[in-house]
């Protein structure tokens, strides 16, 4: 199947700093990418849908000014957590959508663990 | 928002036994998928079942889908220690968004 990578795999930062997480589709072009957040022992919650060349669509309750998403190319989407605070510590997972014969299929990245001190 | 509810939330069984996890969802779907996640790791896609399918097999996995009841089940036969993980169902409503259920934490006892 298609491969999606994330960088970094983990990051520790001080409160108040901004952190950028990259999501790349390595062997296919993804018109749509998705960002999820997962707190310990909880499920994945969809944060936003990112379409190449247009503004991201955020789920209810997700602050768009807090979580900046840029989808500059068909293989790269970035999530920037601005002015991070300890409550932003979480596992962030992206997925990339590839259109196939039977419809679109999503491929998930390995995740990025963010720890805010 | 979450679409699916899995039950049980946690399940402990002896190695070799079968494990059954259930998932219920609320809206119409195009397909339903099951994923496994080991602690602190990424997702592993297990199986996808389309809305016009009722049952699907993959190795020791058996998935059923009942669209009239808006429910699905995942059966793992002859469980192994390596099956210890969290299992999530996820639904695709046709809008490209995949919405995850709350998950079942499966623990295989030696």
B88 touches chain A (CB under 8 A): yes
Q: Give the DSSP letter string of B20-85.
A: EEEEE-SS--SEEEEEEE-TTS-EEEEEEEETT--EEEETTEEEEEETTTTEEEEEE-S--GGG-E
Closest partner residue to A43 among B31, B88, B96, by Cβ? B88
pLDDT of residue A22: 97
pLDDT of residue A1: 67
Q: What is the mean pLDDT of chain A?
A: 92
B45 touches chain A (CB under 8 A): yes
A10 pLDDT more than 60: yes
Whole-angstrom Cα distance, residue B55 to residue B65?
Answer: 6
Residue range A40-60, pLDDT digits in tens: 889 999 999 998 888 899 999
A15 pLDDT more than 90: yes
* Chain A (83-112) residues lying within 8 Å, Cβ to Cβ, of chain B: 91, 93, 95, 97, 102-104, 106, 108-111
B87 touches chain A (CB under 8 A): no
Whole-angstrom Cα distance, residue B43 to residue A66?
Answer: 25
pLDDT of residue B104: 94
B2 pLDDT more than 60: no
Higher-confidence position of A105 and A25: A25
- What band does A86 get if pLDDT is binned at 50, 70 and 90? very high
Query: Quick one: CA torsion of B30, A56, B86, B49, rounded to 10 degrees?
Result: 10
Residue range B34-49, pLDDT digits in tens: 999 998 888 999 999 9
């Amino acid at each position: 199947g298609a491969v999606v990578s994330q960088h970094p795999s983990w990051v520790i930062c001080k409160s108040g700093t901004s952190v950028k997480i990259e999501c790349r589709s390595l062997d296919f072009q993804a018109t749509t990418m998705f960002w999820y957040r997962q707190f310990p022992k909880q499920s994945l919650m969809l944060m936003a849908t990112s379409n190449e060349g247009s503004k991201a669509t955020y789920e209810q309750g997700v602050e768009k000014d807090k979580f900046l998403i840029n989808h500059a190319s068909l293989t790269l989407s970035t999530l920037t957590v601005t002015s991070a605070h300890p409550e932003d510590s979480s596992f962030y997972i992206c997925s990339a959508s590839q259109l196939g014969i039977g419809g679109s299929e999503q491929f998930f990245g390995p995740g990025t663990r963010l720890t805010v001190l | 928002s979450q679409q699916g509810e899995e039950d049980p939330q946690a399940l402990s069984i002896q190695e070799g036994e079968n494990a059954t996890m259930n998932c219920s969802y609320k809206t119409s779907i195009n397909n339903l998928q099951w994923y496994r996640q080991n602690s602190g790791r990424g997702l592993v896609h297990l199986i996808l079942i389309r809305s016009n399918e009722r049952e699907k097999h993959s190795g020791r996995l058996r998935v059923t889908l009942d669209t009239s009841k808006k429910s699905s089940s995942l059966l793992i036969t002859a469980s192994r220690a390596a099956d210890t993980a969290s299992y999530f169902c996820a639904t695709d409503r046709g809008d490209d968004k995949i919405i995850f259920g709350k998950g079942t934490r499966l623990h295989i006892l030696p």
